[in-house]
Structure 1
Amino acid sequence: MFRGFYTAASGMLAQQRRTEMLTNNMANANTPGYKADQSSLRAFPEMLLKRFDQEKVPTEKGLNLPFNKTVGPVNTGVYMQEVMPKFVQGDLQDTGQTTDLALVDIIMPRNQETGVNGSVFFTVQNAAGEIRYTRNGDFTLDGQGFLTTASGNYVLDSNGNRIQLSSDQFTVNENGMLQGAAGETAFLGISYSADPYNLVKEGDGLYRTGDGGALADARGAAGVQFSLQQGKLERSNVDMSRSMTDMLTAYRAFEANQKVLQAYDKSMDKAANEVGRIG
């Protein structure tokens, strides 16, 4: 009986976490460069139940021989195994702002071991001086003229240096070559990950490598082709209609597990307070 409580409760927890993930996707539907999270649910390992008993042997001493009989397998519930971003190119949106940049995947080699296509990212530096990666090209200039993200992270060039400009009147070609109004030149730092699912997702659309190492320069990676579009932003790849459908499915599954839990609770209440009562 108690096993049913744990099974239903694990289903509720899994659907609650899935609902939170879908809610976060929908909240970031208008965030440039945001990659929607996707989850996978997995059942806990099954257990094989056996019943232990004794069998009397008709002898003078009345021997009792122990034996076990297989009852059958039982599942112990479900859990959310992992959450992974879906690295699919988002649509481009025209903004007309010179500081807005969008990365476009042209050819991304497929990893033969994992079957996953690689992806390219802008290289940025956070306030602690750590290297991070992002697809959000919603850039701006700070008070000192440094090119930064909307959240204040410094955009780096191909040499790992911060980019300082005299004004926001600059141009960027398809290869990432930046030319400022006062003659400044720099190649935007574009990094390549052969398996983006190994990246760790942080807030503000940032990613970091799991081992703390740096990604390779996309321009030197074999078979990688990309382009940059100025005055455009890559939109989120969240599918709102699909997310809403998945949200309703998760809610119904949560509700079903909740009703099962309530039924178990009523059965336990009856067993404890009514069964065996002397009238």
Structure 2
Amino acid sequence: MITALYSAATGMEAQETNINVVANNLANVNTTGFKRSRANFQDLLYQNARAVGSAATADTQVPTGIQVGLGTRTASVEKVHTVGDLQRTGNDLDMAIEGNGFFQVEQPDGETAYTRDGSFKKDSEGRLVTADGNPVIPEIVIPENATKIAVGQDGTVTAFLDSEAAGNEIGTIELARFGNPAGLISLGNNLLQQSDASGDPILGEAANDGFGGIAQGFLEGSNVSIMQEMIDLISGQRAYEVNSKAVKAADEILQQTTQLLA
């Protein structure tokens, strides 16, 4: 019964992690460009009371054996990089990626971070920056007398000045993608960082070579489905309750066994 106690305890711990992941997904249901997380689990080692295929007699073998599992553990919590719904804002500096790719931004320490949040602003120097002031890479500087900004699907940025009918190209937004985006490290503030697991970034032009196109005046919503998360939350809660009942049942049997041996 000691084994049952520990096995059920690992189940409770796993479901606690599961519920924490679901809660974070629900908390970010309205976060621009947020990607939901999913907890994955795997079983632990097994106690082999009788090995599969061991000899039963001189001429026969045991077909199944006796294996007792020792519980479960969290194998990984991964980001699911499906595209969220696009939401129209009408703001010239709002951008969404229709497909694969990430915007590149420069962090205060000079390192490059990656994001799907295209709610850009203009700072005091006219640079295109994130809500936290991190400039977009490559740098895009919007002229002070620009009355309108146009961004093409390929990321070409054109500024229309107050005295000119024709626009002036002021730069191009370059995108990055990864062989394993689930391996990116979450930094918070809608930023991701490359890792050995994600691989090096592949840079390219939007709407070309496997990159998604840029939609100006739109933002990508979270890919969290409230209905699915509520189902996962109820499922996790019930699994936690069942494991707690297994702990109680094992404790009662252990108590009875102790009384018999007393």
What is the TM-score when the length of structure 2 is the normalising length?
Answer: 0.83
The answer for the alignment partner of 2:237 in structure 1 is 251
Structure 2 partner of 1:175: 154
Aligned mate of 2:110, from 123, 129, 143: 129
Q: Distance in 2 between matches of 1:7 and 1:245?
A: 25
Using the alignment, how far apart are the partners of 1:178 and 1:202 within structure 2? 28
Query: In the alignment, which residue of structure 1 is the partner of 2:182?
Result: 197
* Secondary structure, counterpart of 1:99 in structure 2: coil
Give the aligned partner of residue 32 of structure 1: 32
User: What do the CA deviations read for 1:100-125 (whole angstroms, capped 9, x no partner)?
Assistant: 100012xxxxxxxxxxxxx3110111
State the match for 1:224 in structure 2: 210
| Separation of aligned partners in 2, 1:262 and 1:23 | 27
CA drift of 1:181 comes to 4.2
Q: Which moved more, 1:255-264 or 1:11-20?
A: 255-264
2:207–2:213 Cα contact (<8 Å) kept: no
Q: How far is the alpha carbon of 1:71 from its aligned partner? A: 7.3
Please show how residues 1-279 of structure 1 align to structure 2 within 5 Å. Answer: 1-49=1-49, 72-105=66-99, 119-157=100-138, 162-167=139-144, 169-182=148-161, 183=168, 185-211=170-196, 214-219=200-205, 223-272=209-258, 274-276=259-261
Q: How many residues align?
A: 241
Deviation at 1:269, TM superposition (A): 4.0
Shifted more, 38-47 versus 25-34: the winner is: 38-47
Q: Distance in 2 between matches of 1:49 and 1:221?
A: 59
Unaligned stretches of 5+ residues in structure 2: 52-63, 162-167
2-side partners of 1:198 and 1:77: how far apart? 27
2:24 maps to amino acid: N
Structure 2 distance, partners of 1:257, 1:218, is: 49
* Inter-partner Cα distance in structure 2 for 1:262 and 1:138: 51
Give unmatched runs, 5+ long, in structure 1. 52-69, 106-118
SS at match of 2:188: coil
- How far off is 1:12 after superposition? 0.5
Q: Is the 8 A contact 2:140 2:170 kept in 1?
A: no
The structure that has the greater radius of gyration is 1
Cα distance, 1:164 vs. partner? 2.6
Alignment check: 8 A CA contact 1:6 1:76 kept = yes
Identity of aligned residues (%): 30
Q: What is the root-mean-square deviation in Å for CA atoms of aligned residues? A: 2.5
The CA deviation at 1:186 is 0.8
Distance 2:3 2:208 in 1: 54
Rounded Cα–Cα distance in structure 2 between residues aligned with 1:15 and 1:262:
17
Matched-pair contact (CA < 8 Å) for 2:141–2:170: no
Q: Any runs of at least 4 consecutive aligned residues in structure 1 with deviations exceeding 6 A, and if so which?
A: none
Maintained 8 Å contact 1:36/1:238 = yes
Amino acid at match of 1:266: E
* Shift in CA distance, 213/85, structure 1 to aligned 2, threshold 3 Å: closer
Going from structure 1 to structure 2, the CA distance change for 1:13 and 1:237 (only over 3 Å counts) comes to: same
* AA partner of residue 127 (structure 2): F
Return closer, same or farther for 1:205/1:88 CA change in 2, 3 Å cut-off: same
